[in-house]
Amino acid sequence: MRHLIDIKDLSIEEINALISVAKDIIQNKEKYQRKCQGKKLATLFYEPSTRTRLSFEAAMIELGGNVLGFSSSNSSSAQKGESVGDTVRVVGGYADIIAMRHPKEGAALVAAMKSEVPIINAGDGGHNHPTQTLTDLLTIQCEKGRLSNLTIGICGDLKFGRTVHSLITAMSRYKNIKFVLISPEELKIPDYIKKDILEKNNIEYLETNSLEEYMDKLDILYMTRVQRERFFNEEDYIRLKDYYILNKEKLISAKKDLCIMHPLPRVNEIATEVDDDPRAAYFKQAKYGKYIRMALILNLLEEKHVQKYHPELPEKLVNVIKCKNPRCITSIEQELPHICVLADKENKIYRCKYCEEKIDKGE
Ligand code: CP
């Protein structure tokens, strides 16, 4: 049994294999119509969603399986205080596989630690969204014909945009990838992505607050929404929400074969006048999401997987230092052990196992 919590759980070969299966599904839909007959997918969504939940459900239905679940925490026993661990233990008795979205970082990992059926992280707070990344990679492969030799501009909320974190992590494993990270100062990419992913892997990147400055260099422009739900202060959100609005004028210097992506939902950050531009790929991207999720469900339901997920970490501290991140799952589930792992031996940097926030041992 295997889970998908972080895009790092998949090797590059496994990602490429999923993309191949998704492309085959697009070409030969009828071949897959009964592959999941008799199987059930549970979608446990503690947070709103249109694309992820419905594409997961459409994926399972198109594979011949059935779906059950809830689309808000209000309609589940989370409202009565039930923990994530108890919920997945129970739902594992009703379904063969679970896709879960939760507002707290690390919630999907907690689910995986307790579940007896495969867990798919469908978004954990501002942390990770690996199936969006698989969607993005399939989109890039289909629209650009390659996953290497690309300059990728990522614009908007790079701090709380979980799709951004997973995308950078995944694309950093392909050859000759350069990133242009475009954000206001307050929404810059988190430290752990810069240090542990970009710098550790010698990936070329630059940070700017200008959307236009490097437009002519980009092969892909990945726009993102300012994540209103992650702000503790509404005034900050209002000040930052319209910082970037991509319109036709801003695309004047862009390459003819630029691929414009967005995980959606869009608020204001792409003007609707861009939708008819042949370079706009974001609605196609949402459709690719169903096919890659079909490939993923098939893969995770295969019996051959052995549990190779999150092995015992040799360098860890349990209940010695508490994670103070208010967005971490440990902030609401008091029974969870606080686990810090040594993320960087050389610089003695510890991170929370659930949310990956840096933990100062001196605290
Ligand atoms: N891209 C994405 O995750 O969309 P939803 O929030 O609608 O699922």
What confidence score (pLDDT) does residue 230 get? 66
- From the candidate CATH numbers 3.40.50.1370, 3.90.870.10, 3.40.50.1000, 3.50.50.60, the one assigned to the domain spanning 7-129+288-301: 3.40.50.1370
Token pair, residue 358, equals 């840096």
What confidence score (pLDDT) does residue 353 get? 92
Instruction: Compute the distance between CA of residue 140 and CA of residue 150 in angstroms, rounded to an integer.
Output: 10
| Overall CATH class of domain 316-359 | mainly beta
Instruction: Compute the distance between CA of residue 201 and CA of residue 220 in angstroms, rounded to an integer.
Output: 21
Q: What is the per-residue pLDDT across 303-327, written as a single tens digit (0 to 9) for each?
A: 666 554 554 555 677 777 889 999 9
Q: Which residues pair with 129 in a beta bridge?
A: none
Pocket test for ligand 1, best of 46, 47, 52 (most atoms within 8 A of CB): 52
Strands 316-318 and 119-124: unpaired
**Which phi and psi angles does 200 have, rounded to 5°?**
-60, -35
Residues of the chain with CATH 2.30.30.20: 316-359
Q: What is the per-residue pLDDT across 240-292, written as a single tens digit (0 to 9) for each?
A: 787 899 999 999 999 999 999 999 999 889 999 999 999 999 999 999 999 99
Token pair, residue 260, equals 């414009």
Contacts 24+ apart (CB under 8 A), 110-113: 110/84, 110/85, 110/329, 110/333, 110/336, 110/354, 111/84, 111/85, 111/87, 112/3, 112/5, 112/309, 112/310, 113/85, 113/310
Active site residue 324: no
What confidence score (pLDDT) does residue 345 get? 81
Question: How much is the average pLDDT of 217-223?
Answer: 98
Residue whose CA is at the smallest distance from ligand 1 atom 5: 49
What confidence score (pLDDT) does residue 308 get? 47
Q: For residue 52, which atom of ligand 1 is closest to its CA?
A: 8
Cβ–ligand 1 distance for 149 under 6 Å, the answer: no
pLDDT band of residue 363 (cuts 50, 70, 90) is very low
| Overall CATH class of domain 143-285 | alpha beta
CA distances (Å), 318 to each of 129, 324, 326, 352, 363, in order?
26, 15, 19, 10, 15
| Percentage with pLDDT > 90 across the chain | 76
What confidence score (pLDDT) does residue 310 get? 52
Question: How much is the average pLDDT of 110-124?
Answer: 96
On the 0-12 / 13-18 / 19+ scale of CB atoms within 10 A, 215 is: buried
Total number of residues shown for the chain? 363
Residues of the chain with CATH 3.40.50.1370: 7-129+288-301, 143-285
What confidence score (pLDDT) does residue 348 get? 82
| Cα three-residue angle 80-83-85, rounded to 5 degrees | 150
- For residue 18, pLDDT beyond 70: yes
- For residue 33, pLDDT beyond 70: yes
Residue whose CA is at the smallest distance from ligand 1 atom 1: 263
pLDDT band of residue 229 (cuts 50, 70, 90) is low
pLDDT mean across residues, the chain: 92
